[in-house]
């Protein structure tokens, strides 16, 4: 019976999961192999599967012949700024929604949820007109605000449930001891909600780093994030697949490393905040 159950588990669970993982990882493995294959070899025989045919030539050309490092810095500034703006707004808003009962509270919370149901392409034209009128088009600050419009609704909804799980008596005890509302938020609530804040900040960072539509339409000249810079590696008459794959690998590396380092904290913060507020 034990052998039959083990065999059934391998056939019905382990093998299908392994096939799904291999199917999901195959494009990334192929992209890495393409980036390691010299251009001449790609044109002649295709992707090299043997380590003997691998080379770092595409990565060297990416750094020396393009402005990819500057583009990485642009993406870092935009993603980091979005995290700061998004958390400043969402933490204070979530505290207000979780601690106060006021007219229109449920309607506002529902609007935050509805915003996530609409594609961000609907906001591009209004944001473009507004940013052009105030002179922040194609700037780091403009792209930070644009990304924040997408990040803040989800962050508020998540942090509201997270802060609501903290007893109000802690705030009241701190204010009884002489703390103001903001001091109680800073010294009592924020330390307890730090796991949720960190997981929300990580989510905002990864979302802003991988954003493409806003980076393309609201930037692209003076400020060119990684997602747009990779597109510029595609020529008009030919595509250097090795250089393009190297740019994709380097561009995806910061977000991938960050996710691998903090995946447990991210998943834990998301599940702890997934309670009814």
pLDDT single digits (tens) 63-103:
988 888 899 999 999 999 999 999 999 999 998 888 888 88
Per-residue pLDDT at 277: 43
Instruction: Give the pLDDT confidence score for residue 76 in this predicted structure.
Output: 94
Per-domain residue ranges of the chain: 2-55, 58-273
The mean pLDDT value of the chain amounts to 84
Rounded to whole angstroms, how far apart are CA atoms 129 and 135?
A: 10
- Residue 205 is predicted with a pLDDT of 92
∠ Cα 178 184 185 (to 5°): 160
Residue 274 has pLDDT above 50, yes or no: no
Greatest mean pLDDT among 137-146, 184-193, 197-206 lies in: 137-146
Distance between first and last Cα of the chain: 47
- What SS3 state is found at 57? helix
pLDDT at 272: 53
**pLDDT above 50 (res 276):** no
Q: Where does the pLDDT of residue 269 fall: very low under 50, low under 70, confident under 90, or very high at 90 and above?
A: low
Q: Which pLDDT tens digit goes with each residue over 12-59?
A: 788 889 899 999 899 889 999 998 988 888 878 888 888 888 889 889
Averaged pLDDT, 159-172: 84
Residue 234 dihedral angles phi and psi, to the nearest 5°: -85, 115
Res 143 pLDDT > 90? yes
Residues 227-237: pLDDT tens digits? Answer: 898 888 877 66
pLDDT-derived band of residue 267, with 50, 70 and 90 as boundaries? low
Q: 170, 157 in Cβ contact below 8 A?
A: no
Distance CA 65, CA 232 (A): 13
Structure tokens at 107: 């309607």
Provide the pLDDT for residue 88.
Answer: 93
Half-sphere exposure of 133 (CA within 13 A, CB side): 6
The predicted structure's pLDDT at residue 273: 47
Rounded distance between C-alpha atoms, residue 63 and residue 204, angstroms? 27
Q: What is the pTM of this model?
A: 0.83
Give the CATH fold of the 58-273 domain. Answer: MetI-like fold (1.10.3720)
CA proximity to 226, closest of 204, 249, 242, 194: 249
């Amino acid at each position: 019976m034990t052998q039959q159950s083990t065999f059934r588990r391998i056939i019905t669970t382990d093998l299908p999961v392994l096939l799904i993982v291999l199917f999901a990882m195959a494009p990334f493995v192929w992209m890495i192999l393409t980036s390691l294959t010299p251009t001449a070899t790609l044109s002649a025989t295709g992707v090299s599967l043997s380590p003997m045919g691998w080379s770092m030539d595409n990565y060297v050309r990416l750094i020396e012949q393009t402005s990819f490092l500057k583009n990485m810095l642009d993406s870092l500034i935009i993603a980091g700024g979005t995290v700061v703006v998004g958390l400043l707004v969402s933490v204070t808003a979530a505290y207000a929604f979780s601690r106060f009962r006021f007219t229109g509270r449920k309607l506002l919370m529902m609007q935050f949820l509805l915003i996530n149901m609409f594609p961000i392409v609907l906001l591009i034209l209004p944001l473009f007109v507004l940013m052009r009128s105030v002179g922040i088009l194609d700037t780091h600050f403009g792209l930070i605000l644009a990304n924040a419009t997408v990040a803040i609704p989800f962050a508020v909804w998540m942090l509201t449930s997270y802060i609501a799980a903290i007893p109000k008596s802690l705030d009241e005890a701190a204010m009884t001891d002489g703390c103001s509302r903001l001091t109680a938020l800073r010294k009592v609530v924020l330390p307890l909600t730090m796991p949720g804040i960190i997981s929300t900040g990580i989510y905002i960072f990864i979302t802003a780093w991988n954003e493409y539509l806003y980076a393309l339409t609201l930037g692209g000249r003076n400020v060119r994030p990684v997602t747009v810079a990779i597109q510029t590696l595609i020529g008009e008459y030919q595509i250097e697949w090795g250089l393009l794959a190297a740019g994709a690998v380097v561009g995806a590396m910061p977000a991938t490393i960050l996710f691998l380092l903090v995946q447990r904290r991210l998943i834990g913060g998301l599940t702890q905040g997934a309670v009814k507020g």
